[in-house]
């Protein structure tokens, strides 16, 4: 159990240092995360812009009790409104007890790939249950 506490403390520190540990002001692109059929709280959703084969993190949102979030720029300096383009979203715990599959934590392996158009208004992400469950 002591090992689990250390891992939890380390994860919390990483989340705080990356800017995902606090609930920032809202006003950016709204979204909702469904994870294995549930609407989890305290999950950091980071948005990475895709340019060719490169990705760049441009902002994040932290889910509320109902799985909703609003995007803000890196360091939560202001709201982030997505412009048309290709994006990938990664997930990490910001205090949630949910264990996130490794593939969702890296921009180069996440299956959460978005083609955002000028008509889109909400970033709705769905992580289905693994087929082995």
Alpha-carbon distance of 53 to 26, in angstroms, equals 30
Q: Which of the four pLDDT bands, split at 50, 70 and 90, describes residue 107? A: very high
Do 74 and 60 meet the contact criterion of CB atoms below 8 Å apart? yes
- Using the predicted structure, report yes or no on whether residue 118 has a pLDDT greater than 80: yes
- Using the predicted structure, report yes or no on whether residue 14 has a pLDDT greater than 50: no
Do 104 and 126 meet the contact criterion of CB atoms below 8 Å apart? no
**pTM, whole model, 2 decimals?**
0.79
Alpha-carbon distance of 107 to 85, in angstroms, equals 15
State in words which class domain 2-127 has.
mainly beta
**pLDDT tens digits along 68-93:** 999 999 988 899 999 999 999 999 99
Least Cα distance to 69 among 98, 32, 106, 104 occurs for 32
Token duo for residue 99 = 């264990």
User: What pLDDT shows up at residue 130?
Assistant: 75
């Amino acid at each position: 159990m002591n090992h689990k506490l250390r891992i939890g403390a380390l994860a919390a520190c990483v989340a705080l240092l990356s800017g995902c540990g606090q609930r920032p002001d809202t006003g950016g692109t709204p979204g909702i995360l469904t994870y294995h059929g549930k609407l989890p709280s305290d999950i950091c959703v980071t948005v990475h812009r895709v340019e060719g084969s490169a990705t760049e993190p441009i902002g994040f949102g932290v889910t509320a009790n109902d799985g909703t979030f609003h995007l803000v720029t890196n360091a939560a300096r202001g709201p982030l409104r997505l412009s048309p383009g290709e994006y990938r979203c990664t997930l990490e715990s910001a205090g949630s007890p949910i264990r996130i599959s490794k593939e969702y934590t890296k921009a180069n392996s996440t299956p959460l790939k978005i083609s955002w158009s000028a008509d889109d208004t909400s970033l709705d992400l769905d992580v289905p249950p693994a087929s082995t469950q």
